[in-house]
Amino acid sequence: AQSVAQPEDQVNVAEGNPLTVKCTYSVSGNPYLFWYVQYPNRGLQFLLKYITGDNLVKGSYGFEAEFNKSQTSFHLKKPSALVSDSALYFCAVRDIGNTPLVFGKGTRLSVIA
Amino acid sequence: DAGVIQSPRHEVTEMGQEVTLRCKPISGHDYLFWYRQTMMRGLELLIYFNNNVPIDDSGMPEDRFSAKMPNASFSTLKIQPSEPRDSAVYFCASSLDASYNEQFFGPGTRLTVL
Q: Would you tell me how many other CB atoms lie within 10 Å of the CB of residue A102?
A: 20
What is the rounded average pLDDT of the residues B100-112?
93
Question: Can you tell me the distance from the alpha carbon of B47 to that of B26, in angstroms, rounded to the nearest whole number?
Answer: 17
* The pLDDT of residue B84: 97
**Partners of residue A51 in chain B, C-beta under 8 Å:** 100
* The pLDDT of residue A65: 98
Give residue-wise pLDDT tens across range B59-73. 998 899 999 999 999
Helix (H, G, I), strand (E, B) or coil at B104: strand
- Per-residue HEC secondary structure of A29-74 comes to CCCEEEEEEECCCCCEEEEEEECCCCCEEECHHHCEEEEECCCCEE
Is there a cis peptide before residue B25, judged by omega within 30 degrees of 0? no
- Is the Cβ of B62 closer than 8 Å to some Cβ of chain A? no
- Is the Cβ of A44 closer than 8 Å to some Cβ of chain B? yes
Helix (H, G, I), strand (E, B) or coil at B85: helix
The answer to whether residues B9 and B19 touch, using CB atoms and an 8 Å cutoff, is: no
* The pLDDT of residue A99: 76
Question: Can you tell me the distance from the alpha carbon of B7 to that of A69, in angstroms, rounded to the nearest whole number?
Answer: 41
* The pLDDT of residue B108: 97
Check the CA dihedral B29-A102-B102-B79 and report its sign.
positive
- Is the Cβ of A53 closer than 8 Å to some Cβ of chain B? no
Q: Taking CB atoms and an 8 Å limit, are A44 and B91 in contact across chains?
A: yes
The answer to whether residues A51 and B100 touch, using CB atoms and an 8 Å cutoff, is: yes
The answer to whether residues B34 and B23 touch, using CB atoms and an 8 Å cutoff, is: yes
Q: Taking CB atoms and an 8 Å limit, are B56 and A90 in contact across chains?
A: no
**Partners of residue B33 in chain A, C-beta under 8 Å:** 100
Q: Would you tell me how many other CB atoms lie within 10 Å of the CB of residue A91?
A: 29
How many helices (H) does chain B have, and how many strands (E)? 0, 11
Q: Taking CB atoms and an 8 Å limit, are A43 and B103 in contact across chains?
A: no
Give residue-wise pLDDT tens across range B8-62. 999 999 999 999 999 999 999 999 999 999 988 899 999 999 999 999 999 998 8
- Enumerate residue ranges in chain A where pLDDT < 50: none
**Partners of residue B108 in chain A, C-beta under 8 Å:** 41-43
**Partners of residue B106 in chain A, C-beta under 8 Å:** 43
* The pLDDT of residue B86: 97
- Is the Cβ of A5 closer than 8 Å to some Cβ of chain B? no
